[in-house]
Amino acid sequence: MEKSHEIRPGQSLELLKELHILTRDGQMNQDSRRKLKQVYHLYRFIEPLLQESRQTSPDIQLVDIGAGKSYLGFILYDLFFKGLSNGSHIFGVEVRHELVEKSRALASRLGFSGMSFLDKTVADALTAPELPARIDIVTALHACDTATDDAIRFALGRQAAFIVLAPCCQAEVAAHLRKNKGKALANPLAELWRHPLHTREFGSQVTNVLRCLQLEAHGYQVSVTELVGWEHSMKNELIIARRSNQPGKHRAARLDELLCLLGLEDLRQRFFTPQFSQ
């Protein structure tokens, strides 16, 4: 059995140095082994989706939303994509131009020709000519601001076969719970978020539940697990959605019921995402 702290044959040592998994002189320490174990743990969830995608679409098209420094894209390319001799491609979408330029420079230096980076908003990416019509996998891992929900809208719009999310930034729901607290106190359930700390924690939980219902309402099968060890963060949830094309009307109804029960009717537009039509 392969040890979780060992570098795999063919991995780019220069990339591992860039990710601070290897020291500049190519050595590993205890912290490096921990980081490498985290990388492989994440990859263990995504590799089966890549393999399954190859069965229907040999040239896999993956889009990473809110890519930041595109570490996820580089890891996936190094471990999986660079061994494919077809049109498989990874696209990183990131609005910060300076990060896009750094990713482009690193991809060029590593010879990762099957990677592209777009300095665009997700709304602009929906119709960007640089992206192919068929998208197989959409990822967004701890993407900041509204990027998690933007990734969901993008994936639904492009009818991606798989969606992989490590959700982040759930403050909006908590803010709505806080704003409507006085009106909601007649409901015994409001005790779940009466105290400020509980408002924040409950708001985070509810946000991800609503996201799962949103995906199911659009015909996706959803599984939720822990992303153990990927970051030193309380945000340790991984949502994986698989398009099943099954009607999700009952899940949409349950989503609406939950919004009404919690006094979050103002968020209907956010969670009831219309399908994008090209």
Transcribe 63-116 into DSSP letters. Answer: EEET-TT-HHHHHHHHHTGGG--SS-EEEEE-S-HHHHHHHHHHHHHHT-TTEE
CA distances from 198 to 117, 120, 193, 194, 239 (A): 39, 36, 5, 7, 23
Query: d(Cα 244, Cα 117) in Å, to the nearest integer?
Result: 29
Q: Length of the chain, please?
A: 278
User: Angle at CA 225, nearest 5°, toward 219 and 230?
Assistant: 125
pTM (two decimals): 0.89
Q: How far apart are CA 56 and CA 96, in angstroms?
A: 34
Res 232: pLDDT: 45
Task: State the pLDDT at residue 274.
Answer: 57
Task: Please tell me the predicted confidence (pLDDT) of residue 178.
Answer: 84
Note down pLDDT in tens along the chain; length 278 residues.
345 557 888 899 999 988 888 888 878 777 777 777 778 888 999 999 999 999 998 899 999 999 988 989 999 999 999 989 899 999 999 999 999 999 999 999 999 999 999 999 988 998 899 999 999 999 998 766 567 888 999 999 999 999 999 887 667 888 888 887 767 667 788 888 889 898 888 988 899 999 999 999 999 999 999 876 544 445 678 999 999 978 788 999 999 999 988 989 888 888 876 553 33
pLDDT at 5: 58
Of 63, 64, 71, 69, give the one whose Cα is nearest residue 16: 71
| 67: nearest Cα among 120, 19, 14, 18 | 120
For 187-222, the pLDDT digits (tens) are 788 888 889 898 888 988 899 999 999 999 999 999
What is the distance between the alpha carbons of residues 258 and 177, in angstroms, rounded to a whole number? Answer: 13
CA distances from 256 to 119, 247, 251, 260, 266 (A): 35, 16, 9, 6, 11
Task: Convert 3-60 into a string of H (helix), E (strand) and C (coil).
Answer: CCCCCCCCCCHHHHHHCCCCCCCCCCCHHHHHHHHHHHHHHHHHHHHHHHHHHHCCCC
Q: Answer for the pair 166, 227: CB distance below 8 angstroms, yes or no.
A: yes
What pLDDT sits at residue 231?
Answer: 47
**C-alpha torsion 72→124→266→225, nearest 10:** -20
